[in-house]
């Protein structure tokens, strides 16, 4: 009788082990289901181009579908808030751009902490903005534009992807540095601002080379200057803003983040995969062709950089007395 009960107990334990082991394995394995990358900007824009590039590469390397969803609104705040409030399990990522700290700095109040509630994974690329004018614009260089703005304050306008976008604040930094007054014309993001420029309905535009290089090379717009300290390799004849206005510099970026509180081992897995993609020779060439400088990073380094950008844009907003949204 005792032997019978022992055999029965062993049988039950074996059965439980059979059912429980797959559960343990499934819980430990990451990723085991599709991952969503939230792109907080409209489809077709420079950020969206990069989101879809990285999603495809991560699909290949992780072995699960990585899907891009565009969640627009509030200068990127809608998408960022969605990721900040998501389950911290590594299945909801955020495309983090230079607009992320800019939008956070402009927010009157935020439902999440922009520094603590998104854990940065890695940088993907950094890039300048380019100051563009319509192809038939009388401005041949940045000095011409500044001279006109000084002689007729408020007569020139510029487009941006929206209030609080890094495009907007970079243009306002130009106003501060050059001592000029120009008028902001916000659009709904994506290619809207470029459409306004090509249609000659605005006088100038700050835009990323990921979106604008094809328009420049196609003769649809003119490039006056780039916003980084160094000239852009793909446009070596275009001077930097700093050559006209010493001290002016804006370097934007694109990277990936995940919900704050995501386990460190999952963040490490994602960091390893993203860095391998960015550091791959062919991928790096593609990123460079899109106008950026491939630049992977540790999670910690990206976290510190984003925090510094957040505080920089807070100062610009205060100097220009821009109303927080």
Reported as a single tens digit per residue, the pLDDT across 245-274 is 999 999 889 999 999 999 999 999 999 999
- The pLDDT tens digits for 220-237 are 999 999 999 999 888 999
Mean pLDDT over 84-95 rounds to 98
Q: Is the pLDDT of residue 178 over 80?
A: yes
Q: Could you tell me which residues come within 8 angstroms of residue 183 by beta carbon, excluding any fewer than 6 positions away?
A: 154, 156, 157, 158
Whether the per-residue pLDDT at 295 is higher than 60: the answer is: yes
Three-point CA angle 80, 167, 169, nearest 5°: 90
Q: Mean pLDDT score of the chain, rounded to an integer?
A: 89
Q: How many whole angstroms from its chain centre is CA 93?
A: 12
Q: Residues of the chain with pLDDT > 70: what percent? A: 90
Q: How much is the average pLDDT of 90-113?
A: 92
35-127+251-320 and 128-243 have identical folds? yes
CA distance 305 to 189: 25
Phi first, then psi: what are they for 275, rounded to 5°?
Answer: -65, -40
Taking the C-alpha atoms of residue 273 and residue 179, their distance in angstroms, rounded to an integer, is 45
pLDDT surpasses 50 at 285: yes
Strands (E), 135-270: 157-160, 183-186, 204-207, 221-226, 251-259
Predicted local confidence at residue 291, as pLDDT: 66
CATH code for the part of the protein at 128-243? 3.40.190.10
Predicted pLDDT of residue 251: 87
Q: How do the domains of the chain map onto residue ranges? A: 35-127+251-320, 128-243
Residue 4 — pLDDT band, cuts 50, 70, 90? very low
Distance CA 76, CA 30 (A): 28
| Identity of the highest mean pLDDT range in 14-18, 159-163, 280-284 | 280-284
Is residue 24 scored above 50 in pLDDT?
no
pLDDT > 90? residue 91 = yes
**pLDDT at residue 323, rounded to an integer:** 86
35-127+251-320 belongs to CATH 3.40.640.10: no
- Residue 289: pLDDT band with limits 50, 70, 90: confident
């Amino acid at each position: 009788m005792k032997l019978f009960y022992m055999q029965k107990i062993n049988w039950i334990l074996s059965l439980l082990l059979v059912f429980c082991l797959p559960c343990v394995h499934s819980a430990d394995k990451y990723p085991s289901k599709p991952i969503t990358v939230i792109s907080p900007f409209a489809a077709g824009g420079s950020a969206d181009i990069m989101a879809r590039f990285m999603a495809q590469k991560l699909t290949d390397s992780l072995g699960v579908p990585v899907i891009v969803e565009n969640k627009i609104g509030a200068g990127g705040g809608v998408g960022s808030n969605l990721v900040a409030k998501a389950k911290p399990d590594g299945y909801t990522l955020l495309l983090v751009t230079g607009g992320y700290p800019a939008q956070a700095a402009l927010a009157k109040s935020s439902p999440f902490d922009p520094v603590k509630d998104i854990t940065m994974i890695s940088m993907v690329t950094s890039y300048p903005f380019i100051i563009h004018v319509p192809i038939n614009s009388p401005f041949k260089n940045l000095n011409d534009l500044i001279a006109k703005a000084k002689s007729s304050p408020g007569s020139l306008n510029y487009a941006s992807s929206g209030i609080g976008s890094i495009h907007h604040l970079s243009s306002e930094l130009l106003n501060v540095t050059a001592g000029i007054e120009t008028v902001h014309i916000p659009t709904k993001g994506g290619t809207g601002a470029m459409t306004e420029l090509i249609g000659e309905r605005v006088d100038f535009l700050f835009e990323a080379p990921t979106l604008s290089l094809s328009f420049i090379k196609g003769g649809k717009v003119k490039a006056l200057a780039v916003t980084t300290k160094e000239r852009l390799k793909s446009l070596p004849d275009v001077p930097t803003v700093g050559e006209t206005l010493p001290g002016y510099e804006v370097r934007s970026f694109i990277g990936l983040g995940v919900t704050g509180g995501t386990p460190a081992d999952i963040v490490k897995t994602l960091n390893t995969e993203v860095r391998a993609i960015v550091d791959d020779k062919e991928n790096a060439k593609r990123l460079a062709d899109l106008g950026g400088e491939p630049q992977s990073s540790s999670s910690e380094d990206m976290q510190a950089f984003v925090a510094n950008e957040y505080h920089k844009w807070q100062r610009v907003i205060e100097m220009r007395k821009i109303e927080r949204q």
